[in-house]
């Protein structure tokens, strides 16, 4: 007998991760091939479905990826295969659609990546089973209540402001609960911006010839700086020596002052693939051993291994550059002896120094502009050489290889509490700065803007900003040293989970309603990273410690209990597949079908 009762599924947050969950769900539903009526409710703050806020298609083309084209693929090679007529990776799609800069090592505009993701979404929509209906809701979800076996999803429509609610049997949350607390400026001051995106809208009020302070010197700060210069018709032109020169349009601020705790910019990249060099110390075997002996100390156990990998990568390239072979040995003193003999033969070569790599100006309380200029020039030159020629780049690229293995140790309380806190508050940012920086072209632009006089590094380190109540402006000052008045203040930092904090209204309400509980690492000491607790399938743990298989989290909401949820990755912390399979099992169970849905996933 045909079952006509509708099974409703909700996906809260529909950027790339929401789309990935949706794609897996449709693939599993097609494989199951039942005739149950199914509705998939998509909740998203904006109409940029699948691209989301980060890759929205209306942003300017000068906002580019820090992720080379060859690394982008909206599809996963996994059974059941995607229900789509074609599944092009990004490079193939760029080539087919005749986009410029389609080479694998190029960095595309984020808006183009968004267009690709939206096309991937449409390819799935075009092949929907006839019993599946997709219902988008453009608005903000603020609360979820459990009513019997169902969940009442409360949301506010973006266009009308009207409050509505939808009943769902199963929910997937991919929206960040601590990254973007709001898409609106949360401060009351007209001359400050807490969230710079979309840049053309948020930064439009900034007057030409004004003084602007930008908190942060990472990818978001670079976006803000480019929006206030190139985004105002300024032009970057290559000179005969290959350097950029910036031509003013007259619409730029007079000065832009970036400032951060370390004052250090991110290490740029040239787009070339990672070297094929293997890890020697941070290995699969080691990870398997450590996972059996939890908790793991970051400083005592993991950090020394990371330092050894940096050391080996550095000297592997340095030796090669001088026609020598660098040999691995299980006895690290044998490796150190090779290095000692090498430096005796080549005393002019720089010695590996961990501190100089992670923070060359640690002992400098204040950075001069000229010091930072020299450092930028050094980073640009090393990035152009790449990790096959630059010992420095070979070393800092190591973290990209270590990261997936480290995630296995970090996730679900694998580190002791003190170690997790130390990693979250210091080393996560450090390794991001070293290994996930912007394209070298963007750092060349920063140097050109500095030389033009617009970008000013006078307050880049050890500065604080405070409100000036007399004139509604701000004061940017280095402690017991120089200061300047500021007309506009931009916060260009992207916050992560913070100890004991749940800023987002939705996640506060999930806690209040008992649908989730806070994750606490109680190994040796205690640390609350400010994230929800989930099991290893991504399912929520409710206030009473019970697993709710009908609520799953994926992507940003799992930060703090997992690590490094790359926005575009289809494989890292992939809760989408297990969620989709679980939904199909729930549909079968609810329909009264007793056989279990047991198909194993085969990753090719």
For 549-573, write each residue's pLDDT tens digit: 999 999 999 999 999 888 999 999 9
Q: Is the dihedral of CA 273, 278, 282, 287 positive or negative?
A: positive
Distance of CA 217 to the CA centre of its chain: 16
pLDDT at 469 over 60: yes
Which positions ≥6 away from 232 have C-beta within 8 Å?
208, 249, 251, 252
pLDDT band per the 50, 70, 90 thresholds, residue 61:
very high
Residue with the larger pLDDT of the pair 274 and 478: 478
pLDDT at 601 over 70: no
- Decide: residue 241, CB within 10 A, 0-12 exposed, 13-18 middle, 19+ buried: exposed
Give residue 319's pLDDT. 98
pLDDT band per the 50, 70, 90 thresholds, residue 481:
confident
pLDDT digits 0-9 by tens, 361-382: 999 988 999 999 999 999 999 9
pLDDT band per the 50, 70, 90 thresholds, residue 42:
very high
Report the interhelical angle of 284-291 vs 398-410 (nearest 10°): 20
Q: How far apart are CA 11 and CA 170, in angstroms?
A: 9
Give residue 597's pLDDT. 41
Bridge partners, residue 453, by sequence: none
pLDDT at 49 over 50: yes
Cis check: omega of the bond before 198, within 30 degrees of 0: yes
When the pLDDT of each residue in the chain is averaged and rounded to a whole number, the result is 92
**What's the DSSP call for residue 333?**
H
Give residue 588's pLDDT. 84
Give residue 184's pLDDT. 42
pLDDT digits 0-9 by tens, 162-198: 999 999 999 999 986 444 344 444 445 789 999 899 9
Percentage of residues in the chain with pLDDT exceeding 70? 93
Bridge partners, residue 166, by sequence: 153
Give residue 499's pLDDT. 61
Give residue 284's pLDDT. 94
Give residue 496's pLDDT. 66
The predicted model gives 335-349 an average pLDDT of 97
- Decide: residue 360, CB within 10 A, 0-12 exposed, 13-18 middle, 19+ buried: middle
Give residue 177's pLDDT. 45
Model pTM score = 0.93
- Pick from 319, 399, 394, 353: which is nearest to 328 by CA? 319
pLDDT digits 0-9 by tens, 303-315: 999 999 999 999 9
pLDDT digits 0-9 by tens, 230-240: 999 999 999 98
Give residue 568's pLDDT. 94
Up-side HSE of residue 543: CA atoms within 13 Å toward CB?
Answer: 9
Cis check: omega of the bond before 80, within 30 degrees of 0: yes
Give residue 263's pLDDT. 94
Report yes or no: 253 and 228 within 8 Å, Cβ to Cβ.
yes
pLDDT digits 0-9 by tens, 421-453: 999 999 999 999 999 999 999 999 999 999 999
pLDDT at 264 over 80: yes
pLDDT digits 0-9 by tens, 67-80: 999 999 999 999 99
Give residue 593's pLDDT. 56
Give residue 32's pLDDT. 81
pLDDT digits 0-9 by tens, 485-527: 999 999 998 766 666 566 688 999 999 999 999 999 999 999 9
Give residue 4's pLDDT. 57
Distance of CA 564 to the CA centre of its chain: 7
CA separation, residue 524 to residues 92, 295, 410 (Å): 50, 8, 15
Domains in the chain, CATH or no CATH each: 7-181+534-590 (3.50.50.60), 194-262+446-491 (3.50.50), 284-435 (no CATH)
Which positions ≥6 away from 23 have C-beta within 8 Å?
74, 75, 76, 82, 120, 124, 576
Maximum CA extent, the chain: 84
- Decide: residue 26, CB within 10 A, 0-12 exposed, 13-18 middle, 19+ buried: buried
Give residue 274's pLDDT. 85
Tokens of 292: 């059996």
Lay out the sheet containing 463-468: strands in order across: 463-468, 473-478, 483-486
Give residue 497's pLDDT. 64
């Amino acid at each position: 007998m045909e079952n006509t009762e509708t099974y409703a599924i909700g996906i809260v947050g529909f950027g790339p991760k929401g789309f990935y969950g949706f794609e897996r769900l449709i693939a599993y539903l097609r494989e199951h091939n039942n005739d149950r009526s199914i509705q998939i409710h998509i909740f998203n703050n904006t109409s940029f479905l699948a691209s989301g806020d980060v890759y929205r298609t209306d942003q300017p083309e000068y906002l580019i990826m820090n992720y080379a084209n060859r690394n982008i693929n909206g599809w996963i090679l996994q059974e059941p295969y995607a229900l789509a007529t074609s599944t092009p990776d990004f490079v193939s799609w760029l080539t087919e659609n005749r986009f410029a800069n389609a080479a694998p090592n190029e960095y595309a505009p984020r808006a183009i990546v968004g267009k690709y993701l939206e096309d991937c979404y449409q390819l799935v929509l075009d092949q929907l089973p006839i019993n599946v209906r997709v219902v988008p809701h453009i608005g903000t979800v603020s609360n979820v209540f459990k009513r019997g076996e169902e969940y009442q999803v409360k949301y506010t429509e973006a266009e009308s402001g009207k409050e509505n609610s939808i009943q769902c049997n199963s929910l997937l949350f991919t929206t960040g609960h601590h990254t973007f607390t709001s898409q609106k400026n949360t401060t009351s001051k007209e001359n400050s911006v807490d969230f710079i995106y979309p840049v053309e809208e948020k930064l439009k009020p900034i007057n030409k010839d004004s003084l602007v302070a930008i908190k942060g010197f990472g990818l978001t700060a670079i976006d803000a700086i480019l929006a206030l210069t190139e985004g105002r018709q300024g032009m970057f032109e290559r000179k005969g020596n290959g350097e950029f020169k910036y031509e003013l349009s007259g619409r730029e601020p007079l000065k832009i002052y970036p400032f951060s705790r370390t004052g250090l910019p991110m290490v740029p990249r040239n787009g070339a693939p990672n070297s094929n060099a293997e890890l020697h110390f941070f290995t699969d075997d080691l990870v398997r051993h450590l996972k059996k002996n939890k908790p793991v100390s970051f400083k005592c156990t993991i950090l020394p291994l990371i330092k050894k990998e940096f050391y080996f990568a550095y000297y592997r390239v340095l030796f090669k550059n001088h026609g020598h072979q660098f040999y691995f040995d299980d006895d690290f003193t044998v490796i150190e002896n090779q290095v000692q003999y090498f430096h005796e033969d080549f005393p002019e070569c720089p010695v590996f120094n961990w501190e100089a790599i992670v923070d060359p100006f640690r002992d400098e309380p204040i950075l001069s502009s000229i010091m930072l200029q020299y450092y930028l020039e050094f980073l640009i030159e090393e990035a152009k050489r790449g990790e096959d020629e630059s010992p420095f780049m070979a070393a800092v690229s190591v973290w990209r290889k270590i990261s997936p293995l480290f995630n296995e140790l970090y996730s679900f309380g694998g580190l002791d509490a003190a170690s997790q806190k130390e990693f979250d508050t210091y080393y996560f940012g450090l390794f991001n700065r070293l290994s996930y920086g912007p394209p070298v072209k963007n750092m060349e632009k920063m140097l050109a803007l500095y030389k033009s006089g617009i970008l000013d590094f006078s307050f880049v380190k050890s500065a604080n900003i405070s409100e000036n109540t007399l004139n509604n402006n701000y004061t940017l000052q280095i402690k017991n040293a120089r200061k300047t008045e500021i007309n506009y203040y931009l916060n260009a930092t992207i916050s992560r989970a913070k100890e004991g904090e749940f800023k987002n209204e939705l996640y506060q309400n999930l806690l209040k309603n008992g649908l989730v509980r806070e994750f606490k690492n109680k190994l040796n000491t205690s640390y609350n990273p400010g994230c929800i607790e989930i099991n290893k399938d991504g399912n929520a743990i409710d206030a009473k410690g019970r697993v709710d298989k009908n609520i799953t989290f994926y992507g940003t909401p799992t930060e703090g209990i997992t690590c490094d949820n790359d926005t575009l990755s289809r494989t890292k912390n992939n809760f989408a597949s297990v969620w989709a399979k679980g939904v199909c099992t729930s549909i079968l169970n609810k329909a009264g079908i007793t056989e279990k849905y047991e198909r194993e996933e085969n990753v090719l």
